[in-house]
Structure 1
Amino acid sequence: MNSSQVAQPRSIGFIGLGVMGEPICRNLASKSGAALIALDKDAAPLQRLVAQGVKPASSAKEIAASVDVLFLSLPSGEIVDEVCRASEGILANGRRGLMVVDLSTTSVDVTRRLADDFAQQGMVFIDAPVARTRAAAEAGTLSVMVGATPEEFEQVRPLIATFASDIALCGAVGCGQVVKILNNMVLFEIVAALSEAKAIGERSGVAVGTLFDVLSKGSADSFALRNHGMKAIVPDEFPLRAFSVDYARKDLRYALKLAGECGVDAEGARHVDALLQSAIEAGDKDRYWPVISRLFQAGSPRAV
C-alpha cells in the first residue's frame, strides 16, 4: 500500500491548541482538504482558526463521535490518558474505526496501554510525537517520529506531511515516543555541555558569541549549538510561552523512567534533571528551558 492509495479522511478532529497545536492544526486545515473540528480550554486559538474553516467543538465526546482521525497535542502523557479515559472522553465515545494520533510527548507505557485499550474498542491509537520549534510548526517543517504498523503509517502519513518535512516510522506503537524521548534527552545533555563551555570560556577571557561561532565551524557543531546556543544562550534570552523548564523536565523524567526499566544508569540525564530542578527552584519554571545556562554564572545556585 502506498500513500496515493489511502482514502483521505472526510473529517479530522484536533484537541490541544497550545504553542505547537495551533500552528499544526492551521496547517492541517489549510492543506488536508478535510473538515476540521477542534477543542481547547482557551477560546482564543479557536477564534483564530475559524479563518481556516476550523469548527470549535464543545467537548472531546463530540469530536470523538464525529471524526475519522483525531489528533492530540497535549502537555503531558497524564493529560492524554485523562482525555482518553474520561467518561466524556475518547475511548468511551469514539466510533469504531477512529484513528487517534498522539502528537504529544507521552510515556511509553501509557502509550502502549492506550493502544491496547483502543484496539479492544475497534479503534486505533498511534504515537507521532513532534520535534523542532514553534517556528517549524508554523512553517510545516516539523520532524515526526511515528509508532504504528506500516499500514497505519501509510494511512496517516499524508496528513502528517501537512505540518512536517521529516516523518519516520520508528517501529510498533510506542517506538515513536522512545525515539522522541531519547531525542530530547540527548538535546538536553548537549545544551548542558554548551552551558558549561560558556561559563568556562567567559571566565577564561573568550566572549560566548566568539566561542560558539568558532565551535560551529568545527566538530562541536550541532543543531543545539546553532539554535539553543546561539539564539538563546548567547543573547541570554529565555522567553515565556516557549518550551519551558517544567515541560523539559517532564520529558526528561520519561527518559529516566525508560532508562530505569531498561537497566541503564543514565548518569548524564540525571545530571541535567538536577539542573532543571535547580532552575525551577530559582523561579524559572516557565521560562524557555536553556535558561539552565544561568546556573553556571558566578554566584548562581548550582545543581547538586
Structure 2
Amino acid sequence: MRVGFIGLGFMGHGMAANILKRGFPLTVMAHRKREAVEDLVAKGAVEVRGAAEMAAACDVILLCVTGAPEVERNVIDIAGAKRPLIVVDCTTSNPATLLRLAKDYSHLTFVDAPLGRSPKEAWAGTLAVMVGAEAAVLEQIRPMLAAFATTIQHVGGLGDGHRLKLVNNLVSMGFAALYAEALVLANKVGLGTEAFDGLIRSSRMHCAFYDSYMGWALDGNKNAHPFALGTADHTVADVDALVRDAGMKSPLTEALRQTYQAAVAAGYATAMLAELPRFVAEANGLELKPLSDRHSRA
C-alpha cells in the first residue's frame, strides 16, 4: 500500500514517521514548514509538489490538516487525478463536509478517522482513531492505521468518526474551560495555583489531560498541550453545529462558544490551550503567571 500524507504538523509528523517505520512507501508534501518534510525524506519518503501529484502516486492519502476548508481544498486537488483511491481524513472537522465531498467525488473512497491523544502518542505510535467507514474498507487500511494507533474504534459509517470526535471535544474543551475558571477563582480568592494543583492531583479529577493542560500554569510551557485556541474555537463551533443538527439544547456548548470566541477576540487565537487560564485571568483583572516564575522570584 503506497501512502500519501498531507499535514505534517504536531500530530502528522510523528504519524508519518511511524508509517515509514512500518515499511509503507510514503509520499509527502510541504505546507508551511519544511522541517518535517526534510526529516521524512531523509528517512526514505518521497516529496511531491502538490496533492494532485500525490494522488497519481498513491493508493491511500491521509489528511491531517487544520479544518474542513483545508480538507476540501486538498480533496478537490486529489480528485483531479481522476483515479480511485482511499482518502482518510484524520482532521477534527465537521462531518457534513466529508459527506458532501463523498457525494461529489464518487470515484474516491472516503474514511473519517479523527485522532485521540497527543503528539507524544503520535511519535510513540499509540494514538487512538475513531473510524467512520465500511467494515471492508477499514480492514483494508487497518495495518496502515496500526502503524500509529493502538486503539482503532470502528464507530459506524462515514461521518460517524467525526461525530464521535466532536462529542469528545465537547468534553475536552469543557474540561479546559472549567479548569481555567477554577484555577483563576483559586487565585482571585487568595488560595493560589499550588493549592489548586494539589487539590486536583489528590482527587478523582486528576487525569492525563490535566497534566498536559497545566504545563503553562505550572512550568510556563506554552506547548505542553499543543492545541491552538483558534482551533479550539473552530471545533466548539462544529460541536455547536452538531448539537443544532441533533435538535438538542446544550447551554454548556453555548457557554463554551462564548469563552473561546472571547479568547480569540482578545488576541489569543495562536496561543495554545494551556494558556486559556491566562486569558480568563486577564478578563477578570488578574495577572496570572506560571507557578515556576513566582517560585524563582521568591
Establish whether TM, by shorter chain, passes 0.5: yes
Q: 1:48-94 CA deviation, whole Å, 9 max, x = no partner?
A: 11122000012211111221111111111111111112xxx111214
Distance, in Å, in 1 between the alignment partners of 2:186 and 2:73 is 46
Distance, in Å, in 2 between the alignment partners of 1:46 and 1:12 is 15
Structure 2 vs 1, CA of residues 279 and 240 (structure 1 numbering), >3 Å: closer, same or farther? farther
Which consecutive aligned stretches of 4+ in structure 1 deviate over 3 angstroms post-superposition? 232-237
**1:49 alignment partner AA:** L
SS of residue matched to 2:122: helix
Structure 2 vs 1, CA of residues 199 and 262 (structure 1 numbering), >3 Å: closer, same or farther? same
Distance, in Å, in 2 between the alignment partners of 1:268 and 1:241 is 23
Distance, in Å, in 2 between the alignment partners of 1:109 and 1:132 is 24
| RMSD (CA atoms) | 2.0
- Normalized against structure 1, the TM-score is what? 0.87
**1:272 alignment partner AA:** L
What percentage of residue pairs aligned between the two structures are identical? 27
Q: Verify the 8 A CA contact 1:73 1:102 in the aligned structure 2.
A: yes
Distance, in Å, in 1 between the alignment partners of 2:225 and 2:182 is 27
Q: Verify the 8 A CA contact 2:64 2:91 in the aligned structure 1.
A: yes
Within a 5 Å distance, the mapping from 1:33-48 to structure 2 comes to 33-41=23-31, 42-48=33-39
Structure 2 vs 1, CA of residues 300 and 264 (structure 1 numbering), >3 Å: closer, same or farther? farther
**1:215 alignment partner AA:** I
Structure 2 vs 1, CA of residues 241 and 267 (structure 1 numbering), >3 Å: closer, same or farther? closer
Q: 266, 277, 285: which one pairs with 1:299?
A: 285
Within a 5 Å distance, the mapping from 1:26-175 to structure 2 comes to 26-31=17-22, 33-41=23-31, 42-85=33-76, 89-96=77-84, 98-118=85-105, 120-121=106-107, 123-175=108-160
- 1:280 pairs with 2:268: no
Deviation for aligned residue 1:300 = 5.3
Distance, in Å, in 2 between the alignment partners of 1:76 and 1:50 is 26
Within a 5 Å distance, the mapping from 1:209-248 to structure 2 comes to 209-229=194-214, 231-239=215-223, 242-248=226-232
Distance, in Å, in 2 between the alignment partners of 1:143 and 1:213 is 29
Residue 5 of structure 1: aligned partner? none
Q: Verify the 8 A CA contact 1:126 1:173 in the aligned structure 2.
A: yes
- Normalized against structure 2, the TM-score is what? 0.88
> Where in structure 2 are there 5+ consecutive unaligned residues?
288-298
Q: Verify the 8 A CA contact 2:188 2:286 in the aligned structure 1.
A: no
Distance, in Å, in 1 between the alignment partners of 2:204 and 2:285 is 31
SS of residue matched to 1:93: coil
- How many residues are treated as equivalent by the alignment? 284
**2:183 alignment partner AA:** K
Distance, in Å, in 1 between the alignment partners of 2:211 and 2:63 is 30
Deviation for aligned residue 1:146 = 0.7
> Where in structure 1 are there 5+ consecutive unaligned residues?
1-8
